[in-house]
């Protein structure tokens, strides 16, 4: 039996324009888009609210935050997964790549447990058809870690493995080129004394020397022919970008300098920045701001990183404070990430696409999610 839904009196954001009109959804797909109000019985009046494509998220650490809402606190695993899913859907995200660390640069025992928990709860929630959003997998490979390969090899056949990123959090370079920032991050969390801090730095530098090159070579062998998109992480110099391209990376995730972002653009890579960086006006690590990259035309995709609601807030900030037309402002959270994942069925409102949709009303300067549909079914 065919199912139909009509949404009317909406500001519908398409690829190129905003249409004040109506949208017909039939059997989970967008069937028609027309200007003007619909007179059809049962049409849902959106009262002039925005209607956007469902957001597509390439990188979120939010699941890990649900497992451990405070230091030393561990929330029940399945409840954490469902809470994460609810926050994702409630933020207007209909497709999400859950970022899971493989190999670690601090708190190893704890992070190993979170890797196992993340995969276990994802499997159980999928099997129970309990998830509102569509959840894919983003494996973040800490290439310098001695155990990275042992952890990664069994995960190659994971369902929904969509993104693999290459990370190296060795202190003194990339995100942690400023050792004082590194000290601030770890002191009291990973170590408690200066001697412990110095020993940690020495150990991490030595691990990079011993394992990075060999681990990377084997990882690239394993990935040969695999459809997962490859991303670099925290590129700081043009040399980092060149190395990433040699690894087959097409995404530069969170470049830390304007120089690296420019090199990524010249290399044909897409540039991903964090929503919190844009919303808060800068990086918490002292790196280049997403706003500066936006002004330079060097911003392709916004990720929520650690705050799911930041994707939508960042998109509206691009429109309100950076002067972008709404179709251009929402592309970094809808069309562009969908294209990077090779998903031609979503990210745009037009006939024939999947009916992943978000109703948004602005409250002051804050976009508020009023309703979310995934494949025509309301999920929030």
pLDDT of 87 = 98
Q: Does the residue 373 lie in any domain? A: no
Q: Does the residue 265 lie in any domain? A: yes
pLDDT of 112 = 67
Q: Does the residue 245 lie in any domain? A: yes
Is 186:178 a contact under the CB 8 Å cutoff? no
Q: Which residues of the chain have pLDDT under 70?
A: 1, 104-112, 170-191, 284-285
pLDDT of 369 = 98
Domain extent, residue 216, equals: 54-343
Q: For the chain, how many structural domains are there in total? A: 1
Q: Does the residue 323 lie in any domain? A: yes
Q: Rounded to an integer, what distance in angstroms lies between the CA atom of residue 149 and that of residue 159?
A: 19
pLDDT of 178 = 66
Q: Does the residue 2 lie in any domain? A: no
Q: Does the residue 235 lie in any domain? A: yes
Q: Does the residue 38 lie in any domain? A: no
Q: Does the residue 31 lie in any domain? A: no
pLDDT of 92 = 98
CATH code at 215? 3.20.20.140
pLDDT of 172 = 58
pTM of the predicted model over 0.85: yes
58, 199, 207 from 105: Cα distances, Å: 22, 13, 10
């Amino acid at each position: 039996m065919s199912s139909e839904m009509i949404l009317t009196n909406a500001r519908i954001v398409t690829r190129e324009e905003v249409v004040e009109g109506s949208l017909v959804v039939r059997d989970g797909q967008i069937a028609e888009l027309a200007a003007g109000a619909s007179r059809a019985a049962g049409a849902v009046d959106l009262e002039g609210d925005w209607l956007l494509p469902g957001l597509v998220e390439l990188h979120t650490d939010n699941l890990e935050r649900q497992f451990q809402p405070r230091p030393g606190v561990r929330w029940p695993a399945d409840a954490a997964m469902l809470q994460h899913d609810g926050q994702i859907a409630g933020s207007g995200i209909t497709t999400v790549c859950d970022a899971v660390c493989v190999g670690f640069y601090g708190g190893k025992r704890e992070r190993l447990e979170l890797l196992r928990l993340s995969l276990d709860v994802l499997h159980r929630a999928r099997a129970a058809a309990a998830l509102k959003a569509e959840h894919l997998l983003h494996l973040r490979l800490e290439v310098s870690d001695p155990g990275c390969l042992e952890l990664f090899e069994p995960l190659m056949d994971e369902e929904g493995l969509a993104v693999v990123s290459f990370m190296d959090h060795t202190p003194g370079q990339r995100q942690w080129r400023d050792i004082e920032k590194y000290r601030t991050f770890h002191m009291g969390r990973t170590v408690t004394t200066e001697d412990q801090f110095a020993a940690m730095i020495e150990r991490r530098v030595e691990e990079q020397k011993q394992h990075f090159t060999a681990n990377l070579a084997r990882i690239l062998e394993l990935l040969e022919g695999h459809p997962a998109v490859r991303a670099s992480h925290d590129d700081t110099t043009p040399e980092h970008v060149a190395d990433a391209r040699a690894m087959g990376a097409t995404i530069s995730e969170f470049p830390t300098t304007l120089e690296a972002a420019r090199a990524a653009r010249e290399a044909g890579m897409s540039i991903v920045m964090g929503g919190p960086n844009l919303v808060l006006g800068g990086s918490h690590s002292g790196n280049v701001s997403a706003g500066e990259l936006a002004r330079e035309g060097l911003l392709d995709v916004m990720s929520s990183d650690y705050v799911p609601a930041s994707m939508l807030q960042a998109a509206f900030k691009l429109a309100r404070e950076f002067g972008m037309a709404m179709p251009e402002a929402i592309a970094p959270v809808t069309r562009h990430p969908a294209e990077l994942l090779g998903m031609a069925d979503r990210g745009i409102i037009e006939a024939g696409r999947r009916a992943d949709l978000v109703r948004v009303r602005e409250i002051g300067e804050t976009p508020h999610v009023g309703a979310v549909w995934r494949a025509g079914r309301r999920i929030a």
